[in-house]
Structures are given as structure tokens and as C-alpha cells.
A = this chain, B = another copy of it.
Amino acid sequence: MNEFNEYFKSAFTVDNVIFGFDEGDLKVLLINRGEEPFKGKWALPGYFVYPSEDLDTAAKRVLDELTGLRNVYLEQVKTFGAVGRHPIGRVITVAYFSLIKISHYNIQPSSIAKKAKWHSVSKVDDLAFDHKEILDACFNRLKWLVRSRPVGFELLPPKFTLTELQHLYEAILETELDKRNFRKKILSMNLLIDLDETQEGVAHRPARLYKFDREKYEKFLAEGFSFELKESKKKEKKTKKKMRANLA
């Protein structure tokens, strides 16, 4: 550190977009800011990265302090560093998103956690700092992720019905899926274990419960498998340009 001293004047933070799924709706955990700047506004949970701490460690710490959860899905998404994004100086933030089961979430005693609340992703529209932009980037990443791997298992309780799983996918993809085709696709992956149990206390035919075969999932990931879910085209009727080859 000599001629470069002038560059060592910035700070960096992590911000964590924590997704959960409840009541058929995709949610995000937000903190109500108790102080300026943006006092009273909702913001993503985040904090400065300590000098002795790796980025991933910082993201896990923020998540743990807030939810008490460890070993959850956590992924770095993008870094935001516009010059004026933070009023107190040059602050770059690294955005992460994580997927948790809301049923496993317990309010933590930390003061920050008391100000936390789940919000429907689709209804969030105004956040502190550039946090709306960060949320959008993470939501888009989740949409992409859900098309290439069966990521929903991170968000559902240990036992779930196929309809719940489908609703989760529909919430993330913001589209409707065909029930029969969805089931065929999901079951053909052999990642579900049929528990031979059914729902109780519902006023209609109870659905079978499934759990997720974690062992096969690990294999799936290791082999770089991927699958595709396409939206039901029942209602769309997009002009499907056939784009045929201009061959002789």
C-alpha cells in the first residue's frame, strides 16, 4: 500500500434477497429501516463485509443473523457499484439470493430480525437505495434457475403435494403450466419419493404427499443434467413463426 492508497477508501457490503414460498405466493424477506437514510422504507437485509471475512461468509452471516438458518441455497448474483448508490460514500454491494423454507424460519432475537417481514415479490415496488434493481436481478436469476434445475425443493416444506409444487413453479415463472404435462415431466425425473400418505383435513379429495429424493438430486446436479419447463400455450397463441430453412 503506497501509491495505491487513494483507492483504499471504499467499502463493500452484501445484500441478500431471501426468497420463501407461502400461501401460493413467492415472498421476499425485507427489513424496515429504522434510521436515515431511507428511514421507514423497506430494504434488503445486508451489511458491511468485515475486513477478515470472505464474501460468501458475509452473506451467510447476514442470513444466519436474520433467520437462524444455515446450509441453505445461496448464490452470488451480481455486484452493484454505481457511484452515487449510497449516500455515505462509495459503497459497492454484492447481491446474493437464498432460498429457504418459510416453515423452518424462526424469528431471531437480533434487533434486525424484529424489523423483518415477508412481502409478496409481485407487490414490492419501492425499496431503499437501488434495492429494487437488485431484487429484480435476483428474481430473474431465480426464474432462469428454476427452468434448468428442480430448485423448488429448497422452498417447499419436506412433504408436499404435486399441486403445491406446480403452484410454486407457476409463482416463480409467472405463468400457468399444464397440470398433466407438469406431472409427467416432474415424475419422469425420478427425483420425488411417493410417501404413500395423503393430505388431511381438506374438504376435497386429499392429494398424495411426496418428498424430495436428495440423493438423486445430488447425482442430477453432478451430472449436469438439465430440464426445461415450458409454459402452457393454451391461452397465448403466439404467432409461431416457423422460420424454416432457406435451403434449395
Q: Which residues of A contact B (CB under 8 A)?
A: 1, 4, 6-12, 48-49, 51-55, 76, 78-83, 88-90, 92, 94, 184, 187-190, 194, 243-247
Contacts and interface: CB of A to CB of B under 8 A. Distances in A.
A100 to B, nearest CB: 23
A138 B247 CA distance: 36
Given A12-B92, A55-B82, 19 more contacts: A1-B88, A7-B11, A7-B48, A9-B9, A10-B11, A10-B12, A52-B83, A53-B83, A55-B81, A76-B78, A76-B79, A79-B79, A79-B94, A92-B94, A184-B245, A184-B247, A187-B246, A188-B245, A189-B243
Given A8-B10, A81-B49, A190-B243, A1 B89 contact: yes
A83 B194 CA distance: 45
Main SS class of interface, A:
loop
Nearest to A242: B188
A83 B50 CA distance: 10
